[in-house]
Amino acid sequence: MDLEGRIRYSEPLRNHTSFRVGGPCYAWYVPASVSAVAACSELCRKSRIPFYVFGGGSNILADDGGYKGVVINMASPRLKSISAEGTFVRVSASVEIGNFLDFLAKKGLAGAEFLAGIPGTVGGAIRTNAGTFDISGSRRWRHLGEILEEMEILDEGSRIRRIKASEVRFSYKKGPEGDIIILNAVFSLRRGSGPAIKRRMKEYIARKRETQDTAFASAGCVFKNPEGCPHSAGELIDRCGLKGYRVGGASISLKHANFIINEGKATSGDIKTLMEAVAEKVKSEFGIKLETELNLV
Ligand code: EPU
């Protein structure tokens, strides 16, 4: 079994999460190849050691008590690759969204601009079916599933499999589920002009900067927008008057009420208590049950 790569024991997850919280994991594994990812996942499954597949760390609330298992860092530099063939782009799950988009702009490939400003890796973005409202103001929800052609994954038996995007039911904040590891993806784009693509990407980034608290440590939106409700989670929390409400070192952003900010010394407990308080208040005010979109580790 080939476990080539680097292992660090008791690595604090707060060093890797955008929330800047999270205690130590047993082992932080930076695999050097796809076969090493397969070997590690197989070893963990056989030995019944829990493992967590870590992308960019931007949608995670890691517990300060730590993670009693192996964290496989899919953002390993040794796993990164990207290439274009016509209007198709093959990219490894480990590549950051920002780098993927830089590549597309350079190649003059359009269609993925709506992903601009979304943090994390391509793999994480597929898992969560990352998306945003169209910049036109039409409130059309644009999501990664629209432009994905196919994926290469490791299945529950640590075997490489190819899956067509059409076989996956992509929905709001939901990509492929189950005990799989995304390795590579092929996206279908269209020809466009480099400067126009860059301009559109900048527009998406500017909108985020305007409406969201991008300057502070956070994990982006904490709650999903409730299905069938004309109001977003942020709007509901805002209407409860919770902006600026704090627990310990965590507070509700003054800019966007669906963002929880780590002011510097927040613990995972502060954030969880704040999340519970918010959900309770929204439930009692509007009778709506908010559901978190963060991965709790
Ligand atoms: N609003 C308020 N108060 C607030 C925040 C928002 O009244 O504090 C209002 C806004 O004025 C607007 C409406 O609520 O009328 C919706 O707000 P926004 O356009 O910011 O959209 P959102 O639904 O809160 C969603 C995604 C974001 C994504 C933006 C892009 C969810 C939960 N959030 O936010 O995703 O960046 O659209 O437009 O789906 C994330 O995934 O982490 C994330 C931040």
Looking at the CA of residue 59, tell me the nearest atom of ligand 1.
Answer: 42
Query: Is the domain of 197 the same as that of 279?
Result: no
Tokens 């169209």 belong to 134
Query: Is the domain of 56 the same as that of 144?
Result: no
Q: What is the pLDDT of residue 1?
A: 62
136 C-alpha to center of ligand 1: Å? 15
Query: Is the domain of 24 the same as that of 71?
Result: yes
Widest Cα–Cα separation across the chain: 56
232 C-alpha to center of ligand 1: Å? 6
Which amino acid residue places its CA nearest to atom 44 of ligand 1? 221
CATH code of residue 38: 3.30.43.10
Query: Is the domain of 72 the same as that of 84?
Result: no
Query: Are the C-beta atoms of residues 128 and 143 closer than 8 Å to each other?
Result: no
Instruction: Check the CA dihedral 181-184-189-195 and report its sign.
Output: positive
Query: Is the domain of 137 the same as that of 23?
Result: no
33 C-alpha to center of ligand 1: Å? 37
Pocket test for ligand 1, best of 172, 235, 282 (most atoms within 8 A of CB): 235
Domain that holds residue 140: 80-205
Which amino acid residue places its CA nearest to atom 7 of ligand 1? 235
- What lines the ligand 1 site, CB under 6 Å? 132-133, 211, 220-221, 224-225, 232-235, 238, 256-258
Q: What is the pTM of this model?
A: 0.95
Query: Is the domain of 90 the same as that of 115?
Result: yes
Q: Reduce the DSSP state of residue 152 to 3 states and report it.
A: strand
Pocket test for ligand 1, best of 258, 275, 278, 290 (most atoms within 8 A of CB): 258
Q: What is the pLDDT of residue 211?
A: 95
Question: Into how many domains does the chain fold?
Answer: 3
φ, ψ for residue 124 (rounded to 5)?
A: -65, -40
Beta bridge partners of 186: 90, 150
Q: What is the pLDDT of residue 139?
A: 84
- pLDDT tens, position by position, 65-96: 999 999 999 999 999 999 999 999 999 999 99
Q: What is the pLDDT of residue 137?
A: 83
Q: What is the pLDDT of residue 2?
A: 83
Query: Are the C-beta atoms of residues 164 and 172 closer than 8 Å to each other?
Result: no
Instruction: Check the CA dihedral 15-18-19-23 and report its sign.
Output: negative
223 C-alpha to center of ligand 1: Å? 10
62 C-alpha to center of ligand 1: Å? 23
Q: What is the pLDDT of residue 273?
A: 98
Q: Show the DSSP H helices in 62-159 as ranges.
A: 97-107, 122-127
Query: Is the domain of 67 the same as that of 109?
Result: no
11 C-alpha to center of ligand 1: Å? 33
273 C-alpha to center of ligand 1: Å? 22
Which amino acid residue places its CA nearest to atom 33 of ligand 1? 221
CATH code of residue 246: 3.90.78.10
d(Cα 41, Cα 52) in Å, to the nearest integer?
Answer: 9
What are the per-10-residue average pLDDT scores of the chain (297 residues)? 90 98 98 96 96 96 98 95 98 98 98 97 97 91 97 95 96 94 98 97 96 94 95 98 98 98 97 98 98 96
Query: Is the domain of 199 the same as that of 86?
Result: yes
Q: What is the pLDDT of residue 23?
A: 98
